[in-house]
Structure formats: C-alpha cells, structure tokens
Structure 1
Amino acid sequence: MKKDDYQLYISGAIKLSVSFGVVSLLSRWVTGNTILSSPETLVKYGLIGGIGYSLVGALSAILFGFFAKKVQDHHPNQQTIGDVMKQKLTPSGYWFMIILLFLTSFHSLFIQAMGAGILIHMIFPIPHFIGILLFLIFCFFIGGVGGMQRLHKVAGVNVSLIFAAVIIIPVYFFIQEGVYPVYDGIKLYHPYLLYVKNSDAIWFIFTAIFVFFGQILIDRATWQRIFILKKEKVRITFTLTGLIWATIPLALTSLLMITIFGGGFEDIYTLFFELVNKIQSTVLIALFVVFCFSSIASALSAELHATTSLFVKNVMNMLFVLTNDEKWKYTYIFSGAICLCLLVIVSILTPKTLTLLFFTGNIYAAVICPILYIILSKSVLPFIIPFSSFIGAAGGFVLLMSTQDFKAIWLSFAISAFICFIVFVYKIVTRKNTTDLLGKSLK
C-alpha cells in the first residue's frame, strides 16, 4: 500500500461485487459472539432459541440492506458512518454520535478479544496473557496497519475456513454417531432443549430483533462496506449475507447438540473443550480451532480498522489539518493503543458474552429510530434526535437495575421512538403553519 494515499487504507482500491461483498460482510459478522453465544443460547432457551438466534441475525441483515441502499444513493462519495453523521447533524449532534460510536465500537472489540481469550484458555496449554498478546499483535497488523486491502485478502480464506468447519465437522459426526442416537440422547439427558412451547425463548427472539438490528445499524465496519459495494448490488448483497449467515449459528448449534447428547456438562464454555475432545481426527481438531480463531481475528480486525478510520478521518482530521504521514502516524498509535487496552482488560475480566450483549442491548435498541431518522431525512436534524438514543438507553438502564430482564430493552426503544415521533410531528406542524402564513401573506 502506498503511504501517500491514505484513502486506500479506508476503502481499498476496488468496488465490491455481490460475491465478494457477501464474503467481506460474512467475514465481519461471523464473530466471537456468534461462536460463544451459540452454546449459551442453546442451553438457556433450547433449540427454539438457537433457531431464533439465526433467524433474527438473518432478518437484521436483510432489513438493513433496504436502508443501506438509501445510504449509498444519498451519500455516494462518503467513506465512513462519521461522514454521514457530519452531513446530517448539527455539530453538537455530530460529536454526540461520534462518542456513542466509539463506545459501541469498544464494546464490540472487547467481545471479540474476550472470545479469543476464552478459547485460548480452554484449548491451548499456554499462559492466557501470552496467547492474547500474540492474537492481538496479529489483529494489529491485519486491521490496524494493513487496512481494507489486507482485510480483503484474508476475508476469502476466513470464509472458506468457516464453511469447511461448519459443513465437514457436523457431517463427520452424524456419519459416526447417526441422527437418531443424537436425538434420543438429547431427549433422555436434556429434554428441555426440545421444548417448543418455551415462552422465554419467544421473548428472547423478539427482544433480540431490537438488539441485532440496532447493532448492525451503527456498525462502523458494515457502513464502510456499504460505500465500497457496487451501487446496484447493495440490497441483494445484504440479503444473501443474511441468508448465508443464518446457517452458521445453526451449524454450531448442531455441533453442540452432538457434544452433549451423551450426558451432562460442567458449564457452558466447557462445551467447546468437550467438542475438541470428541473430535478424534487431528485434522478436524485443527480445522475447528483455526475456524474459531480465524473468525474472531477477522471480526476484530475489521472493527479495529473501522474504529481507527473513524478516529483519524472523523475526529483528528476534523480538529486538525493532517498530512498523509500524520494520518498514518495516528493510525499506528490509535490502533496500537486499542490493542494494548484490550490486552489489559481481557486479562482481568471474563463476563458471559450473551449477558454482555444484552446488557448493552439498551443502547442498540435506543439508537434504531434516531439512526433511521438520520438515514431517511433530507435535512440537517436537531440535537434532540441523536440525543434521544441517550435518553432511551438511560431509561432502559434504570429499569434494568430493578427488573433484570428484557423489558428494559423494549423501554429503551419505546422512549427514543416516542421522542423521534414527537420531533417528526412538530416539524410537520411547523412546516404547515409556515406554509399557511406564507400563503396568507401572498394573498
């Protein structure tokens, strides 16, 4: 990559077609959360929860494709989500959204790094700190330094590994064990997994729609890929991505059912360790391990690249006029600082991924209406529109402290949606009154 052209770092050198667009998006969205939330979802909500998790992710990607088309139509020359925020918001609203984007970005990065840490601890007989250090150094050189072009190079390899693992390993097990023994074992030892009238699972699925859709709506890496997709291919690319992505959690769920059909298990995260023990083929063990780390590394690298691009282009370049050399300097410093922070935090904390995802679900639910308002509007919006996401999230967190359930996520969405609706109605009434006054004055 030429150091005198920082644009290549952000967007790469080519426009993506449908096939490579799907590969790039899958490489971003098959994440540590996808891998580690699958066992937690299966155990907590049964088979219905596992299927619902897949369908909700697919629906979110397909639905976002309709709005992504509008984004590219209205902002064809932009590169990041920050560029659109700058065009559609007042300065105070813009900086508020930038802060929110960084908070959610660090949350996403932490989930990926935490997923890698859990797998390293379970699989490899090396010190946890050393394993995380090596993993983050790899991600730093791929996403932090390499930019979009290097992410494109590893995306194809990553997606090939994903499908090799989720197709070959389940087929290998079902040929070995058979379908009926697995079903009978689940029915004997874990009959609750097959319970279809699970109200908690239905509640989980409908709540997950808000979390997943809000997450993709403000995902920095996904927005960057909107701007490098061919204009006429945006909607079909997201539709195919959603449909293909849905097969990944389903395949992981089938793997976990194969793992537990013969008896109980110690805890959720030991399921993957037991899976490695059950895979008696060295080649398949290596494939599974490489698949896990390749997926997490690819997702973390994409998020690291998007966050760094946002910082350099939409923060530093807004405050100072930067030369290309200075942009590269801040790229190295900022991405390196993120990796160092992740190393320290992940070495100390190991919360459960599903719990962490839904703890921040208030934020993701609260941003849905403000972001859609920003996408669909044609004028500069007042500060209250982006700030409504903060009010909604705050209301949800207050309820979360007393109820500890999914009602907080619904409340967060409802509050921000109500504020956006009031602003929308106010603008219509104000415009009508202005038109009426103008008409009277002309008479």
Structure 2
Amino acid sequence: MSIQETAILEPGVAWLLIALFTALYVGLGWYFGRKDKELDQFVLAGRKVGLAVGTATAMATWVTSNTTMMAPQLAYQMGIWGMVGYSLGAVGLLLFAPLAKRIRTLMPHGYTSGDFVRLRYGNVAWRVFLGISIFYSFGWLVSLGMAGGVLTHALSGIPYWQGMTVILAACVAYTLIGGFRAVIGTDFIQSILILIGLVVLAWMVIGRIGFDEIHFSLELERPELLTLMMPAAIMFLFNNLLFGMGEIFHSNVWWTRAYSFREGVGLWAYLLAGLFWAPIPIVAGFIALAGPALGTNIPAADMVGPIISAELLGLAGAIIVLIMVFAALASSLDSLLAATAMLVVRDIYYRHLRPQASADHLRTATKVTILLLGVVTWLLCLPRITTLAELLHFTGAFVASTIWPIAAGLYWRRTNRWGATLAMVAGSAAGITAYFQIGFYVGALVGAAVSMVIVLLTTWLRPQEFDWEQLKEPPPKH
C-alpha cells in the first residue's frame, strides 16, 4: 500500500498548514529583526539575549526534527535504550553550561567557535577544525531538509521533494530577513509549540491504548525492545552521549549563543535548556512503541513517528505532528543557517579573503551565504541517499574528536596545540573507520576515545604554556 493511500492528511490541508506557519515565521522574522542595522545586531542580537529567550532558543534548537523523528526511529529499532540513549543528548547542553560562561568571560568580543580554535591553537588546528565543523553543519542541514520532506510525505502524500523544498525555503526566508534576532525570537514560539504538541500526543497515546497493551504487544512481537541487555543499544547509549557532546562543544550554533547571551546568562540558560530537553526524546520515542499494538506497517524506520501518530490519532494527530515537527525543523534550520553562514563569512571569507571588508559588506555577505547554504542543502537533499539516523551518526564520527581539544583548551593552560590538532585528525579518522567497520553506534565513541588519549598524552609529555589574555582579541575595526 502506497503512502498516498495511507496518508491521513489531505495534501490541500497539509499545504494550508505549511503556508500558514510559513507566513507566521516569516512575519515574526521580519518583526524581530526589523531594527537590526548593525552587524553585531544581525549576527548576535546585540549580545543582549536574556535568560527566558536564551533558554528557549537553546532548547528549541536542540529539539530538532531529528529529535522528534529519530527518537521514535531509535525506539522502534533499539527499544528502551534507543529513546533513553537519545535523551542523553541533554548531557551535552548541561556540560556546555559552564563552558558558555567561560567562553563569554574569556572572549567578550568573539564571534565564532573558529575564533577560539584559531587564537588558542593556531592556524593549522583552526583549518582542521573548520573542515570538521562545516562538514558536520552540512550533514545536519541535509538531515533537517530531508526530515521536512519525509514528514510531509508520510502525513499527506505530498512528494518528498516538494515538502522539503517549501520548508527549507521558508526557513531560509525568515533567517535572511531577520537575522539572529529572528532566529531566537521564533525559537521561543517554536519551543512552546513543540512542548505542547508532545504532551498532547503522549497523553492521547496513553489514553487510546494504555501502558498494559503496549507492554503486552511488545513482549509478544518485539521482546528485544524491552531488554536492557541489547549490546548494540548499550553501545549506542554511550555513543550518543559523546556524539551529543561533540555536536554541542564544537558547533558554532552553540558558541554564537554563548556570545549573544548577556553576561551571566549562558550558564543558567544551558542548564535549564538541558533539563527541559531531557524528557522530550523519551516522550517522542514512547509513541513508536505503540507500533506493535497497532499492527502498523512501517515502510521506512525514519517514518515511524509520523505514521504511528497519524494511524493512532487520525486527523488531529497528523495535524499536531505536522505543526510540531515543522516547529522543530524551523527552530534548528534557522539556527544552523545563521551560525554556519557566520562561520563561513567570519572564518573563511573575512579571515582568508577579505580582511579589510566593512561591517556592511560582511552583513551582506552573511545574507548571501545564508541563501547559498539553502541552495546547496536543497541540492544535497534531493537524492535522499540515506536515513536521518545514518546521516547524523556519520557526521558524529567526526565531531566527537573535538570534545577534548575544546574542553581542554578552555580550562587547561598547558594543552599542547599540536596534540589538539592531531587529536582532531586522528580521532576523526578512527571514528569514521569504526563507523564503517563496526557500526554507527560506536563511531563517536571511538573518535572521542582516540582524541582524549592524544590530548592527554601530548599535554603530559609536552605541555605548552598559554596566556588566556590572548583570547581577548579586540573587536575588528570594520
């Protein structure tokens, strides 16, 4: 049976919802960013973001479409450990909280994560880091774009490429119009929509089926999902913990927020965001465990969340899922577009090609880069060459290698710069080898372990003194 025959939403209804929320987000983007004329206002919201909005934007950005769609997929494939393991992504937010405070203190005029690596470890490490970070950013962008197409196709039968195109274009549009202030402003609205949607869905699942029937069906048809001793799932739990840390520690998405928060806000914003985020993958994953009780046919694992919600809850469930996942998509896509554009413009264009560029020129370059990122992401999304989980964990094999260079560089004065560079290169190589030779559930684990050993050994054998004042680079005179 085709998706078109089983889709709950009529394509016209889905298009109407997408159009309404696109108009809402674009309108909000214009409203929030209408007064931003300076470069710092456009890319960092003037460095004055408060606690409430800061917490909401951190949480909403981490509640990606991958959370709302991959958590059900992993629960469907790995059971209890799948959704619990995914929830350990909150540890990355919690551990980044003190780092955010230190980043704001050490680098009051910083713009990107690349600024830190350049000043702390030198140009070679900086360029290695940029390669890893930009590669990861494209992986995340593509996974989000794919999720938009998968979602609309599963719920309404809208062709994958059409749904992906419209949702991606909407996010590019309002990020382009309003800049970073539009990103964090819409994130606040989107975080509320996501939380309400998940609570309603979980409550409806429990009310319609109940814990007993779900448990009985799992024991009868998929008992492996209830076992706590599934080896791959246990490995995934630790792998995802390190993957999440690597994602957050290195990504400019989180560093821009650290720079944009008011003094003293970063620590509490990330702590609260981590606490609020932790239950979300468990709630989202729980929905997938109702699959055996329903006897639902799942044509692709990454479609399990939308299909089960729509199957169980009918039209209302499909509408809730569409609104919620669109909000999750938008809250991450806008952040990633803005942060990646700034990394490309500041660290590649400005530092390598146009060091004399004015602030107005860089603001324009940032907008052009956002648009180009959207186009490239669209082209990469078209073939839909893999699933969301496989794509993300492929990039995770690289980014886990940055955990120790970042953390050690922020706190250890004697961290060896060449050791940090080697740790990123060797850790990435080891992680990707493990990904292909063993499985996706160990790539980040191996990459982080190799990186850790190299950083610790080189710092112990050849410590190098560093003056923290070097990180207080004066703001550029545009």
TM-score (norm: length of structure 2) = 0.83
Work out which of the residue numbers 105, 108, 124 in structure 2 matches 1:73. 105
Specify the alignment match of 2:206 in structure 1.
174
**In structure 1, C-alpha distance between the alignment counterparts of 2:61 and 2:188, rounded to whole Å:** 11
In the TM superposition, 1:329-368 aligns within 5 A as 329-368=364-403
> How far apart, CA to CA, are the structure 2 residues paired with 1:402 and 1:69?
39
Aligned ranges for residues 9-408 of structure 1 at < 5 Å?
Answer: 9-13=42-46, 15-54=48-87, 56-267=88-299, 268-271=301-304, 272-280=306-314, 282-318=315-351, 319-320=353-354, 321-378=356-413, 382-404=417-439, 406-408=441-443
Cα offset for 1:283?
4.1
Whether the aligned pair in 2 keeps the contact of 1:121 and 1:128 (CA below 8 Å) is yes
Task: Output the amino acid matched with 2:121.
Answer: L
Amino acid at match of 1:354: A
Secondary structure at the aligned position of 1:231 is classed as: coil
- The answer to which of 326-335 and 209-218 deviates more is 326-335
Deviation for aligned residue 1:182: 2.9
| 25-34 or 232-241, larger mean C-alpha shift | 232-241
1:408–1:344 Cα change, 3 Å: closer
Q: Residue by residue, what CA displacement relative to the aligned partner does 1:179-216 show, whole Å, maximum 9, x if unpaired? A: 33333333333322222333332221112222111111
1:405 positional shift: 5.7
CA RMSD of aligned residues (A): 2.3
In structure 2, C-alpha distance between the alignment counterparts of 1:126 and 1:410, rounded to whole Å:
38
Counterpart residue type for residue 308 of structure 2: E
CA displacement, residues 347-386 of structure 1 (integer Å, 9 cap, x when unaligned): 1124122222222222122111111222224479634423
Contact 2:73 2:303 in 1 (8 A): no
Give the letter aligned to residue 307 of structure 2: F
Determine the structure 1 residue equivalent to 2:38. Answer: 5
Given that residues 144 and 304 in structure 1 are in contact (C-alpha distance below 8 angstroms), is that contact kept between their aligned partners in structure 2?
Answer: no
CA distance 1:123–1:209, change in 2 (3 Å): same
Q: Which residue number in structure 1 is paired with residue 476 of structure 2?
A: none
CA contact (8 A) 1:81 1:220 kept: yes
Q: Which moved more, 1:336-345 or 1:372-381?
A: 372-381
Unaligned runs of 5+ in 1: 432-443
Residues in 1 aligned to 2:164 and 2:441: alpha-carbon distance in whole angstroms: 32
CA contact (8 A) 2:100 2:266 kept: yes
Runs of 4+ in 1 over 6 A off after TM superposition: none
Identity, % of aligned positions = 21
In 2, the alpha carbon distance for the partners of 1:327 and 1:27 equals 27
Structure 1 Cα separation of the partners of residues 434 and 364 of structure 2: 44
**Greater Rg, structure 1 or structure 2?**
1
What is the TM-score when the length of structure 1 is the normalising length? 0.89
Please give the per-residue CA displacement for 1:51-80, whole angstroms capped at 9, x wherever unaligned. 2321x1122211121222222221122232
Verify the 8 A CA contact 1:391 1:415 in the aligned structure 2: yes
Change (3 A) 1:4 1:153: closer
Looking at structure 2, the residues matched to 216 and 183 of structure 1 have their Cα atoms a distance apart, in angstroms, of 35
Specify every segment of 5 or more residues in structure 2 that has no aligned partner in the other structure, as ranges: 1-33, 466-478
Distance 1:357 1:4 in 2: 36
Task: Report the secondary structure of 2:289's partner residue.
Answer: helix
Give yes or no for contact 1:88–1:379 (8 Å, CA) kept in 2.
no
Contact kept in structure 1, 2:67 and 2:281, CA below 8 Å: yes
> Distance between the aligned counterparts of 1:196 and 1:382, measured in 2?
41
> By how many angstroms is 1:408 displaced?
4.6
CA 1:250/1:31 → structure 2, altered by over 3 Å: closer, same or farther? Answer: same
Indicate how the Cα distance of structure 1 residues 353 and 67 shifts in structure 2: closer, same or farther if over 3 A, else same: same
SS of the equivalent of 1:214 reads helix
Could you say if the C-alpha distance between residues 411 and 119 of structure 1 is closer, same or farther in structure 2, counting changes exceeding 3 Å? same
User: Matches of 1:251 and 1:424 in 2, distance apart?
Assistant: 42
8 Å CA contact 2:194–2:328 kept in 1: the answer is: yes
Judge conservation of contact 1:87–1:380 (CA < 8 Å) in 2. no
Decide whether the 8 Å contact of 1:392 with 1:415 is kept in 2.
yes
The range that moved more, 334-343 or 314-323, is 314-323
In the alignment, the residues of structure 2 paired with residue 3 and residue 400 of structure 1 have an alpha-carbon distance, to the nearest angstrom, of 44
Distance of 2:117 and 2:444 partners within structure 1:
24
Does the Cα contact within 8 Å between 1:189 and 1:262 map onto a contact in 2? no
The answer to whether the Cα contact below 8 Å between 1:210 and 1:364 also exists between their aligned partners in 2 is no
Partner amino acid for 2:38? D
For 1:348 and 1:331, locate their aligned partners in 2 and report how far apart those are by CA, in whole Å: 27
* Residue 205 to residue 380, structure 1, CA distance change in 2 (3 Å): closer
